[in-house]
Structure 1
């Protein structure tokens, strides 16, 4: 079967969770024996030659469309503001003639039998393929309306943006033969909206993490870490702030010298620098993440905001690193307090659970249970079966 993958930005470099997920998805379809082609936008900072070389290496043709920032003419602006189908700004970009023409040409010349869309806001391209009776499968990275309000906050302006994003999700459900949610909680939403076929497809890059090895150590001090890809992201910044200002100081007060806290990821705000003292280290961007994680003992992941499946939560769990996490961040996946993880609802919970991790037997138990559950949920075989079922 010929499958055209349409993805917002070509996932090279694949440094973030979304990029890893989309890259793994493309390569999985190829490995499963499908003839795959990709249509994607690219940004000025990306190396087109590197993308072309990637395509030759994997035997996957890639059609690239330059990402364009442009001012709309007055009549276009009027149409956008009077037509609710143009009110979702992310979706409206895919009404642009350049990406529309590229998709039209691939539909006419390459003639895919199925189109796989990464992200629900690409729906303005659906009509090109529906008019030719080509099946559509959409992979949702999060239920965008909820994620948007959690990241940007509730205000009259943001509520005005919220409802067009709900409309985008409804269109996706109506036009897609299958919608693959990223969490069990979001799968329930798509079922309520009436999706003909929906299931939960976890972060596809976790399949390779399942096969990695991490062994708990019986040592002191214990190294506790939080990893956010970038602290330009609001929910990462809020989590780091909680650790630096509240959790780490209180743990040090109650158990001096027993724990060292590590903050990983780029662009930590300068205003946090004064808190990186004593029992706190800022590791910054870590090139070889898994090698670095082998020197860690506990993952600490406050999840205060954001929807979807957060890799900073599930990668440590999948590796078997004892993890302390906000219960909301588990998003319906079957990891339970005291069995595979320790869950929290408050700053006090986080402090108490960090102190509990001094128990080596507890850390071993959590590690073993987390690895076993992750293998059942995120293995290559499991992810392959979810994808193949959606493509039927």
Structure 2
């Protein structure tokens, strides 16, 4: 069983890239997968479910409801709401990171386990970790939590957040599992201080890019790919307000993704591309990737994607989060606008520096994030012989 709350068919975020990597791996290892998701978050249609099953990546698709339909207000209140309030209070201390497990969600999850035994139960995110809390139906399965991130860090600015309570409760949730999969070496180190050798470092896994003839005259000098979450919006504002004016005016920049709606209009040599079906078409038509992240934890998937295509990356220190190598990795780190812009200009002007960084980028990907290398880690974690 693979529990992942978002529809993997969307293919529009790093967490989905990770989920698809796992599904591809399971298929190659002839593991039959029942895919379980939360209906509200996944935004599924009957056509989308059929399309997902047609890929051969999953056997069955089960969509769980967060709460029952309110057919009768009185029955709903006394038959569910009061019981759920008591249920949630037991597992969700005040000040902790929000817990997505409700009584109704738990009941549906348990129904699946009653119908079928699973050798492996893989749950994504600590938000849903308590699905196996004191759950005898999961006792004979190898239980795995894929953390994706340190959630307490992500929500530390939320109202009512208590760092001590949140960290303690997050570790309590992870301790329920036989294995804890961490996406970055930093998080693997942190979790292992409390959870020991049950923590497994499972990096982001990307397929090797399809070999193409290098474009000797790419359309873009620079590419900046990002979604429009709050931290990306803040980072884009810093970049365009303080870094962009220092970059060579001749540099041609492609901005790709939902972040385009937060880019100043009519900037010279800036092309806005809100959506592209295949990012490879952009990466193979650019020279340098940018990642001006100011905040955020966990591996930056867009950085890894750029490295996989042999693109040097100019980033802030946050852009190297999740990279096992902190130097000689294909990334040049600039913390100030002048440093950041300086590295961009150097890469565009210095052919030797560019070649050196491009080779480091490709080597970092092959050694750390390629499907072949990450599959070895998964084989060891799941005790699968090749």
**TM class, shorter-length:** 0.7 to 0.9
Structure having greater relative contact order (Cα 8 Å, sep ≥ 6):
1
**Conserved 8 A contact 1:264-1:285:** yes
**Conserved 8 A contact 1:136-1:177:** yes
Match runs of 1:307-386 below 5 Å: 307-337=297-327, 340-357=330-347, 358-386=349-377
Q: Which has the higher strand share?
A: 1
SS at match of 2:297: coil
**Conserved 8 A contact 1:173-1:195:** no
Q: Give aligned pairs, total.
A: 371
1:12-39 per-residue CA deviation (whole Å, 9 max, x = no partner) reads: 2222111121122123113212222122
What's the TM-score once normalised by structure 1's chain length? Answer: 0.84
Of 14-23 and 43-52, the range deviating more from structure 2: 43-52
- Give the match for residue 101 of structure 2: 94
SS at match of 2:302: helix
**How far off its partner does 1:261 sit?**
2.2
**How far apart are the structure 1 equivalents of 2:6 and 2:274?**
25
SS at match of 1:104: helix
Counterpart check, 1:137 vs 2:132: no
Of 10-19 and 318-327, the range deviating more from structure 2: 10-19
**Conserved 8 A contact 1:147-1:308:** no
1:251-289 per-residue CA deviation (whole Å, 9 max, x = no partner) reads: 2xxx332x122221125446x434x41132222212232
Distance 1:57 1:216, change over 3 A: closer
1:131-161 per-residue CA deviation (whole Å, 9 max, x = no partner) reads: 6332211111101111223xxx3x7x2533x
Distance 1:52 1:309, change over 3 A: same
SS at match of 1:388: helix
Match runs of 1:269-280 below 5 Å: 269=261, 272-274=263-265, 276-280=266-270
Distance 1:106 1:90, change over 3 A: farther
Counterpart check, 1:6 vs 2:16: no
**How far apart are the structure 1 equivalents of 2:360 and 2:179?**
32
Counterpart check, 1:125 vs 2:167: no
- Give the match for residue 65 of structure 1: 64
- 1:211 pairs, out of 183, 192, 209, with 209
Distance 1:96 1:86, change over 3 A: farther
1:146-181 per-residue CA deviation (whole Å, 9 max, x = no partner) reads: 1223xxx3x7x2533x45542442123321111110
**How far apart are the structure 2 equivalents of 1:200 and 1:96?**
32
Structure 2: 5+ residue stretches without partners: 71-75
**How far off its partner does 1:218 sit?**
5.8
Root-mean-square deviation (CA), in Å? 2.9
SS at match of 1:262: strand
- Give the match for residue 194 of structure 1: 195
**Conserved 8 A contact 2:293-2:319:** yes
Match runs of 1:15-34 below 5 Å: 15-34=12-31
**How far apart are the structure 2 equivalents of 1:377 and 1:45?**
33
Structure 1: 5+ residue stretches without partners: none
Counterpart check, 1:237 vs 2:233: yes
Distance 1:216 1:346, change over 3 A: farther
Distance 1:364 1:67, change over 3 A: farther
